[in-house]
Amino acid sequence: MSSTTPSPKRSRLARVAIAITVALALLVVVVFAGGYLIYRHLNGNITVDNSANKVLRQSASKDPGAGTTDLPPMNILVMGSDTRVGQNGIGGSAATGGGGSDVTMLVHLSGNRKRALVMSIPRDTWTLIPACKQKDGTLSQPHYFKFNSAYTIGGPACTIKLVTQMTGIPIDHFIVVNFSGFENIINAVGGVPVCLTHAVNDPAVVGQGSGLQLSAGTHLLMGTQALEFVRLRHNIDDGSDTSRIPRQHAFLSSMIRKVHEDNLLLHPVQLLQVLDAATKSLTTDPGLGNLIALKDLAQSLTGLKPSAVTFLTVPWAPRGDGANIVIKQAVAQPIYDAIIHDTAWPLPAYAPPGAPLTEQPTSIHVHVINATGISGRGQAVADQLQALGYQISSVTTGPVTTATAVRYPTGFPESARTLAASVVGATEVLDTTLGGNQLELVVGPNFTSVRPVIVKTTAAGVSTSGSTQIRSGSDASCVG
């Protein structure tokens, strides 16, 4: 594993989603450690904030519903503050304002607690900021500006008010985190593995580069490196906030899998270390502001699997004035509606990181091989792919394998990229024994779903900026 020295100054923009990782680390650990008797003294670590009580949904949805089978859906807004409270006195004010929100994620838990959606709202989204109560007690004036300015104006309450105004989605609870405990959390879980398609070379430059150096392949990132990875923005992609969100989602999904697979229930000392670090970084509303409430929520989520957790970014498009973006309302509305009505959410077309896809599904011939050991699974996947336009030539059964893979003959790498993008978590494998133009999709037990993809359709190219990138919590594929 590579080593690195953090840059001496961490710019405010460069900290996006560090805090969100702390918050979701807590949620992940509590969820997948459901039923464990959490140590009572951790309760004192949590900071309770009453400032947003009037803008939270006042309904039964506020009850985590432990021990029940018919639960209301729950929406939790997770916000990351860029203040440095707790870091040797350096930083802004407390969690209720004084800094900006580097990142915001809406976590939707279905009523049956079998599905979860984590939707990122980019900080540079240009939108109408509502009138909010400011720190001095006066009311701000509505105005258009960047999404993250709402937190600066009125803390969690203003951000919650803005999200509800933008989406129509009621918020039941909120979590605000600083990132002072991030490295301790990652170290406590034993590090988080990440797989990179390309090497990372980010020279340490004050306010610009992290100093992170990683080769292509898989790395187990401990505290400092994990911190630099989720901060990574310079010397990679286009340097924007939105370009790094998929990497943050990949990191979080990897953390979910690790916590789930390691079963922290069997390691109480390690579990205590994780919870201690996480709760020290947590500010929340009274409804989630104690360990009993978090334990009850965890017990209601014991059936939630990593494969049922979906990460996505709200659909967006460039505003045309630098880093600012706007929401694609027509594309986003079906997602909002699905959250509001707690129905299955539609999956927008996906564009993988890197070069745009160039081969249309309608030109790709696929032989589906059922390697799951489950009768009928191959045909079901074939039907789903056919609905997306793929040409299914045949469906057969093969030996059970562990991984879902796209095998392709020489000369068809672009076809393989398109098919692999459509099959969540699939890897691409060149097979020189294959002839003709037919690809083979080996459907392994880790198969979760298929999705539509965005393909370049003109010679000049169609920008994929703003396309919603979707990742399942069980997706272990590499990230750029």
Asked if residue 336 and residue 227 are part of one domain, the reply reads yes
Give the number of other CB atoms < 10 A from CB of residue 167: 23
Give the number of other CB atoms < 10 A from CB of residue 345: 20
What integer pLDDT is reported at residue 245 of this predicted model? 83
46: in domain: yes
Task: Provide the residue-wise pLDDT of the chain in tens; the chain has 480 residues.
Answer: 444 444 433 333 233 344 444 455 555 554 444 444 455 567 778 889 999 999 999 864 444 444 445 689 999 999 876 544 433 332 333 333 345 566 789 999 999 888 889 999 998 999 999 999 998 999 999 999 999 999 999 999 999 999 999 999 999 999 887 666 677 778 888 899 998 888 888 887 666 667 889 999 999 999 888 888 887 877 777 667 787 788 888 888 888 888 777 776 567 677 777 777 777 777 899 998 887 787 777 777 777 777 788 888 888 888 888 889 999 888 788 889 999 999 887 766 787 877 888 898 989 999 999 999 999 999 989 988 988 889 999 999 999 988 899 999 999 999 999 999 999 889 999 999 998 999 999 999 889 888 888 887 433 223 333 445 677 777 777 887
In which domain, by residue range, is 365 found?
Answer: 361-458
Q: How far is CA 114 from CA 41, 309, 342, in A?
A: 30, 9, 11
- What are the start-end ranges of the E strands in 3-54? 47-48
Asked if residue 127 and residue 179 are part of one domain, the reply reads yes
Determine the Cα–Cα distance for residues 339 and 117; give it in Å rounded to an integer. 8
Asked if residue 271 and residue 220 are part of one domain, the reply reads yes
* Cα dihedral 97/98/104/110 (nearest 10): -20
477: in domain: no
Asked if residue 316 and residue 375 are part of one domain, the reply reads no
Q: What's the predicted TM-score (pTM) here?
A: 0.72
What integer pLDDT is reported at residue 27 of this predicted model? 54
Number of structural domains (the chain) is 2
Asked if residue 269 and residue 164 are part of one domain, the reply reads yes
Asked if residue 141 and residue 76 are part of one domain, the reply reads yes
What integer pLDDT is reported at residue 285 of this predicted model? 94
Determine the Cα–Cα distance for residues 39 and 470; give it in Å rounded to an integer. 36
Asked if residue 449 and residue 320 are part of one domain, the reply reads no
Asked if residue 254 and residue 398 are part of one domain, the reply reads no
Residue 127's nearest CA partner among 327, 323, 312 is 327
What integer pLDDT is reported at residue 14 of this predicted model? 31
CATH number of the domain where residue 396 is located: 3.30.70
Asked if residue 146 and residue 40 are part of one domain, the reply reads yes
Asked if residue 227 and residue 118 are part of one domain, the reply reads yes
Asked if residue 407 and residue 312 are part of one domain, the reply reads no
Asked if residue 104 and residue 243 are part of one domain, the reply reads yes
CATH number of the domain where residue 205 is located: 3.40.630.190
Q: Which of 186-218 are b and which e, b meaning 16 or more Cβ less than 10 Å from the residue's Cβ?
A: bbbbbbbebebeeebebebeeebbbbbbbeeee
Q: Residue 275 corresponds to which amino acid? A: L
Determine the Cα–Cα distance for residues 366 and 416; give it in Å rounded to an integer. 10
Token pair of 225 as six digits: 């490196």
Determine the Cα–Cα distance for residues 373 and 400; give it in Å rounded to an integer. 6
